[in-house]
A and B are shown apart, each in its own frame.
Chain A
Amino acid sequence: MIKNKAICTLVLSIFTAGAVFAAKPVPAAKKTPPPASVAAISGFTAADMPYDVGGAALLRWPVNPADTPDTVYTVYTSTLASGGWVKADEFAASANIGKDVDMPFWAWDGSAGEHALKVELNSFFGEVPPEASYHFRISSSEKGKLAAESLPVEMTTKGNWFRLDRLNNLVLLVVIIIVFFWAVSHAKRKGLFIRRIAGLDAIEEAIGRATEMGKPIFYLTGTQPMSTISTIASTLILGEVAKKVAQYDSYIKIPHYDPIVMTVCKEVVKQSYMEAGRPDSYREDHNFFVSQDQFSYAASVDGMLEREKPAAVFFMGYFSAEALLLAEVGATNGAIQIAGTDAEGQLPFFFTACDYTLIGEELYAAGAYLSGEPMLKSALKVQDFGKLVVMLSVFFGIIAVAIGAKMHWDSLVHVILNMFKAY
């Protein structure tokens, strides 16, 4: 009994002692010393991003040779001088090097020895007001440990008035304008030779056939709005086609996809009938609106082609997936089909389903070709000049870049590639 008590007392003592020891405060862990003051990132600047609307900042600072692959830069921005910092970007030290900025050599002097970063301010602060001030600071860290930090810097946004990076484009534009006016003045002095375009020569044949067969002619202006070049070109061709239709006393139907194009085409066709001396033959329902939905339009026009079996169908303008839906139905109904489009993806369908196809630029040239006016035809010479410039540039550019790459003349290659790049 006494032995049992002794055992119980011993067990209780052990537990009590354990509890007492456990209750003892653990000696405080050795405190890590506060980080020594972090290194400063010097040379950090913030400025308005050049050649933009005034909604971005350009940050630049020197590359630190001590940076390792683990070094990460974090960029902070704020509208306040102190506090309110928002993380704008985070990237490895090997990224955002000045020489990698996608700008041409005449507009950017970035080097391999600096970091350059564009910060879109509207991503963090919404719409950026003009002349607004923003503050930036950067820090670098190694494996999550702060290594260096910059002092905050301030910049003010401003709208820029010229895209210097697009200077190459502007120079080309000026050259083309000069050649354009030279060609126009040259056309006034003497005529220009224009090669024959089979598709356009066949227009008269198609209209004549429709007249003989007593069937209508369908003219489709594409599925793009009036603001596109292909639709403008299409309306110009329509003017000439409608004039011939009026002269032959045939009948033309123009189902429309876009109501504005329909309104313009009404005027164009009316004018053509007047010029042909047949205003009495003009009817308001030559032009009519069908639908502004791609497949509804295709279904409706297909129905008309199937029922009315036209003798000639013209597809002039921009077409998408409906190109084949329309052209194939016209072909199976035995119509002479002449197409012209700048939608290069649809050209194969027109090639196979139509009798004649105007490829891209021929569509733009068609109005001038058909009108026969020297002033308009002169513009075709400008197109030829443009193609010559492109051909020579491609030819000599390829040779120069190939030689530069072979001889390791990186600067030469860089200059040539910059000159022919769109920014």
Chain B
Amino acid sequence: MKFIKKTIPLLIVFVVGVLSLISYYVPHKTSVNFIELMSKWENIVSAFAFLLGLISLFFSHYHKISRKVDGWGYSIFVFIGFFAIIIPAILNHGKSMTAAGPTSLGWAYSSIYTALSGTMFAVLAFYIVSTAYRSFRIKSKQAFVLFVAAFVLILGKVPLGQIIWTSVLGWTHVTVSTVIDWIMTVPAVAGKRGIMIGIAIGAIVTSFKIIFGIERQYLGKD
């Protein structure tokens, strides 16, 4: 049993992992075909898994409605939204546009889905304001540095700020855009690169742990 539950999965992970790793150094058509095959398999598994996700979604919201838990009314909209898109999609054979103009699916997409997504994205602007307010409360030396950098950036991005800078610090002959450029290209990029290098090394090591079977938590314990 351990052979089936542990050894075979580890072997599959090792073989596929090593072959995928090697394919980075092997440009041959065989290698390209292998990666394409893996990608196809992933898509097939994703398609079946999506079905599982859909069932999970429906059951979860069905239980909320049947048990009348807090906010159960919102769950009704999951079904309404689902049918508002799926029924036009079936009726129009998946086509959102014909020579005569947009189909009901096209209308549902642009008038329901796109409108709701746009609304949600627009909310982000308000959250950025409240987050900015929180980050501008200077509680430490690091927060002060963050505040100064952000303040200069905001100052430089609005015409009024540029006028203030010129009238107060014009004698230095350093323009606010020069300061902004320096902040964005020197300390910001340096910090970002440091994080990216750490991420890259971490990703390599995590991959090795999985390929060589050091990390087995995803398989469960014996």
**CB <8 Å contact, B123 and A325:** yes
Instruction: State in angstroms the CA–CA spacing of A298 and B121 once bound together.
Output: 10
Q: A155 to nearest B CB, angstroms? A: 17
Instruction: State in angstroms the CA–CA spacing of A386 and B127 once bound together.
Output: 38
**CB <8 Å contact, A233 and B217:** no
Instruction: State in angstroms the CA–CA spacing of A95 and B215 once bound together.
Output: 51
Instruction: State in angstroms the CA–CA spacing of A351 and B132 once bound together.
Output: 11
- Render A326-370 as a binary contact track against B, CB cut-off 8 A, 1 for contact: 001101100000000010100111011100000111011101100
- Render A232-262 as a binary contact track against B, CB cut-off 8 A, 1 for contact: 1101100100000000000000001011101
Which residues from chain A contact B173 at a C-beta distance below 8 Å? none
**CB <8 Å contact, B204 and A260:** no
Instruction: State in angstroms the CA–CA spacing of A349 and B134 once bound together.
Output: 11
What is the chain B residue whose CB lies nearest that of A371? B217
- Chain A contact residues, majority secondary structure: helix
Instruction: State in angstroms the CA–CA spacing of A331 and B45 once bound together.
Output: 36
**CB <8 Å contact, A236 and B217:** yes
**CB <8 Å contact, A267 and B205:** no
- Asked if B201 lies at the interface with its beta carbon under 8 angstroms from chain A, I say yes
Contact of A295 among B117, B198, B206 (CB under 8 A): B117
**CB <8 Å contact, B214 and A375:** yes
**CB <8 Å contact, A360 and B202:** yes
Which residues from chain A contact B56 at a C-beta distance below 8 Å? 259, 262, 287-289
What is the chain B residue whose CB lies nearest that of A270? B220
- Render B36-62 as a binary contact track against A, CB cut-off 8 A, 1 for contact: 000000100110011111101101100
Q: B82 to nearest A CB, angstroms? A: 10
52-101 of chain B: CB within 8 A of chain A: 52-54, 56-57, 59-60, 63, 70-71, 74
Contact of A285 among B25, B32, B60, B209 (CB under 8 A): B60
Binds A, one of B153-161, B164-172, B175-183, B189-197: B189-197
**CB <8 Å contact, A52 and B27:** yes
**CB <8 Å contact, A344 and B124:** no
What is the chain B residue whose CB lies nearest that of A347? B195
- Asked if A163 lies at the interface with its beta carbon under 8 angstroms from chain B, I say yes
Instruction: State in angstroms the CA–CA spacing of A344 and B190 once bound together.
Output: 12
Which residues from chain B contact A299 at a C-beta distance below 8 Å? 116, 120
Q: How many residues of A contact B (CB 8 A)?
A: 87
With A292-B53, A325-B123 as known contacts, state yes or no: A53 contacts B203, CB within 8 Å: no
- Asked if B3 lies at the interface with its beta carbon under 8 angstroms from chain A, I say no
**CB <8 Å contact, B205 and A379:** yes
Instruction: State in angstroms the CA–CA spacing of A347 and B124 once bound together.
Output: 16
With A353-B134, A359-B195 as known contacts, state yes or no: A263 contacts B208, CB within 8 Å: no
**CB <8 Å contact, A361 and B25:** no
**CB <8 Å contact, B203 and A364:** yes
Contact of B218 among A235, A342, A352 (CB under 8 A): A235
- Render B142-155 as a binary contact track against A, CB cut-off 8 A, 1 for contact: 00000000000000
Residue among B53, B196, B210, B221 with most chain A CB within 10 A: B53
Residue among B45, B63, B127 with most chain A CB within 10 A: B127
Instruction: State in angstroms the CA–CA spacing of A361 and B196 once bound together.
Output: 9
Residue among B25, B74, B116 with most chain A CB within 10 A: B25
- Asked if B1 lies at the interface with its beta carbon under 8 angstroms from chain A, I say no
- Asked if B141 lies at the interface with its beta carbon under 8 angstroms from chain A, I say no
Contact of A159 among B30, B52, B198, B221 (CB under 8 A): B30
- Asked if B185 lies at the interface with its beta carbon under 8 angstroms from chain A, I say no
Instruction: State in angstroms the CA–CA spacing of A324 and B117 once bound together.
Output: 15
**CB <8 Å contact, A387 and B71:** no
**CB <8 Å contact, A352 and B46:** no
**CB <8 Å contact, A376 and B199:** no
- Asked if A45 lies at the interface with its beta carbon under 8 angstroms from chain B, I say no
**CB <8 Å contact, B198 and A387:** yes
**CB <8 Å contact, B57 and A288:** yes
- Asked if B111 lies at the interface with its beta carbon under 8 angstroms from chain A, I say no
Binds B, one of A132-140, A176-184, A201-209: A176-184
Instruction: State in angstroms the CA–CA spacing of A163 and B24 once bound together.
Output: 8
- Asked if A38 lies at the interface with its beta carbon under 8 angstroms from chain B, I say no
- Asked if A268 lies at the interface with its beta carbon under 8 angstroms from chain B, I say yes
- Asked if B135 lies at the interface with its beta carbon under 8 angstroms from chain A, I say yes
Q: A258 to nearest B CB, angstroms? A: 8
With A290-B57, A371-B217 as known contacts, state yes or no: A383 contacts B32, CB within 8 Å: no
With A53-B29, A307-B71, A349-B131 as known contacts, state yes or no: A361 contacts B218, CB within 8 Å: no
**CB <8 Å contact, A344 and B218:** no
Instruction: State in angstroms the CA–CA spacing of A54 and B28 once bound together.
Output: 7
- Render A140-175 as a binary contact track against B, CB cut-off 8 A, 1 for contact: 000000000000000000011111001001100100
- Asked if A308 lies at the interface with its beta carbon under 8 angstroms from chain B, I say yes
A-B contact pairs, 25 of them (CB 8 A): A52-B27, A54-B27, A161-B28, A163-B26, A163-B27, A169-B25, A225-B42, A239-B217, A256-B53, A259-B51, A259-B52, A260-B45, A288-B56, A289-B56, A293-B117, A298-B120, A303-B71, A328-B131, A344-B195, A351-B135, A360-B196, A364-B202, A364-B206, A383-B201, A386-B204
The 5 closest A-B pairs by CB, nearest first: A259-B53, A361-B202, A289-B53, A386-B201, A364-B202
